[in-house]
Every structure is written in C-alpha cells, then in structure tokens.
Amino acid sequence: MSTFKDFRNGVKPNWCPGCGDFSVQAAVQRAAANIGLTPEELVLVSGIGCSGRLSGYIRSYGFHGIHGRALPIAQGVKMGNRDLTVVAAGGDGDGFAIGIGHTIHAMRRNMDLTYIVMDNQVYGLTKGQTSPRSESGFVTTSTPDGSIEKALSPMETALISGATFVAQSFSSDIKGLTATIEAGILHNGFSIINVFSPCVTYNKFNTYDWFRENLIRLSDIEGYDPKDRKMAMNTLLENKSMVTGIIFQEERPSYQEMVKGYAEKPLAQIPLDLNSDLFHELVADFM
C-alpha cells in the first residue's frame, strides 16, 4: 500500500515561501496515496510557469511540456496507455490564456483525466503581469493603470463546455483540496479542478486572508445538488464564482469508451516481436 512518502522524489521545490503551490503538491501526493496508486501508475504532465514545476517535484512519471500544451500531451498519454492515471497541471495563464483552446476541447471531449489549475490571478514566473483571471483595475507591471479587461470565469466556461466534473478548491484547505482531487481522479471522464493558489510575491490583493473572507463552501449551501447543471450555473453567478467544492458532476461515457476499435490492452503491454514472415508481409504492402 502506497503512502504519501512514496510520492516524494527528494527534489526541493523552489517556489517562493508561502506559495499556494506547495499545498497543491502535497494534496496530489496524498490523494494518489489515498486512492491506492503507486508512483508507476501515475503520470503528471505540466505546462510552463511556476505551476509547471510540479511534474518535477513528485515521484511518478512526469512530463514538463510547453506553455499551454499540457492537455494535448496528457490526452496522448492517456490514449496510449489507458491503465495509467493521468493528471495534468498548470496555471491560470497556462490553461486560460494560450492554452484555453485545448482546455475547452478537452472538456467537451471528456477524456478520462484530471486537470488541476493553480489559479493565482497573475503571471508569477515572468514577474507579475496581468493574467486572464486578473480582475478589472488590477495593477501589474503590464497594466500600471489597472487592467481594463473583465476576468475570465473558468468554472462557468467549464459548465458550458461540457465538462463532466467541475470543482474548485483553496490551497489553504489541504483536507478539502485532497478530497476534491481524489474525487476528480476517480471520476470517469474529464475533471477540471480550479485551485485558488495565492501568489505571495506578485499578487497583494488576492491574498490568503482575502480568500478566507470571500469564499463560500458549497457544503454550507442548503439543498445544493452538484448533479443539477442549472443550479450549478446559478450558484456561480450569484456568488461571483467564489465557491469551493464539487460544483457539477455527471456520468457520461468517456472519450476512450466511445472510440471504436480502441484496444483494451495498452500498447506498452503488447509484444512487439516481429517475425520474418510478418516483416515480409508488411514490406510487401508497400512494394
């Protein structure tokens, strides 16, 4: 039986002290162990940004992709080996700016993987520019007079894009975050988990205290039903998307289940020996 320690690789993270990404890392490790995975059964694919370093800090298969392209890689891995548990990770700039096209299509496709977005409402690695999640008026090095754009609402976007598991969490709530990641991994289909992960260096507005004052747990809303898409959307609109918990979940066949002829046995487990007769038969097809 795996434990939290089995997913440690000895690499010390170089995030800023107090960064919310530390908690995300711990939550992924705990969730994987709680589910009963081994490091050899987990693949972590990440993009660019502070969040992109996550794939190098966890003992599992890892792939550090390019900016905004974690999801295409993760989907390819899952299609190549359906037995692997695939988790993609990135920041709000990675997933909701350059990579938003991939995000939307992965959601509607319902590929069986989990996407964790570390949402700090700013570009941290490149020294504090505005992101698609920055609120109007937010002052950064790229918007010295304050952002004039409206912030993107990722959870509303996920609902209308067909995601079958939509959740939100807060990095300071390690217990709730771990449970949400566990539920996302166990869900059969595409799971998107937006995690409020404060940047203590470049975002002095969306702080830990600010989130504690403004976030609402869905479990505290009487009668809330995560199976009701309309209720989920209305709840997001009424609370300016400042909610945590499983916002929406529905059962629908995953992409892999709908692909005709998709082999049950992964390529990695299929013998690749090529005898002489088969070789000449294949060559003859091209003669």
Q: Which residue stretches of 63-217 are H helix?
A: 70-80, 92-93, 100-109, 154-161, 174-186, 208-214
Question: Are 17 and 50 within 8 A, CB to CB?
Answer: no
Q: Are β-strands 243-249 and 165-170 bridged in parallel, bridged antiparallel, or unpaired?
A: antiparallel
- The CB density around residue 105, as the number of other CB atoms within 10 Å, is 15
Quick check: helix, strand or coil at residue 217?
A: strand
Q: Set out the domains of the chain in order of their start, with CATH numbers.
A: 4-285 (3.40.50.970)
Write out pLDDT tens, residues 13-64.
Answer: 999 999 999 999 999 999 999 999 999 999 999 998 899 999 999 999 999 9
Q: Are 118 and 88 in contact (CB under 8 A)?
A: no
Q: Which residues contact 177 (CB under 8 A, 6 or more apart)?
A: 23, 24, 27, 169, 170, 171, 195
212 in helix, strand or coil?
helix
Q: Is the pLDDT confidence value at 272 over 80?
A: no
149 by DSSP, 3-state: which? coil
pLDDT in tens, 229-262: 999 999 999 999 999 999 999 999 999 899 998 8
Tens of pLDDT, residue by residue over 75-105, are: 999 999 999 999 999 999 999 999 999 999 9
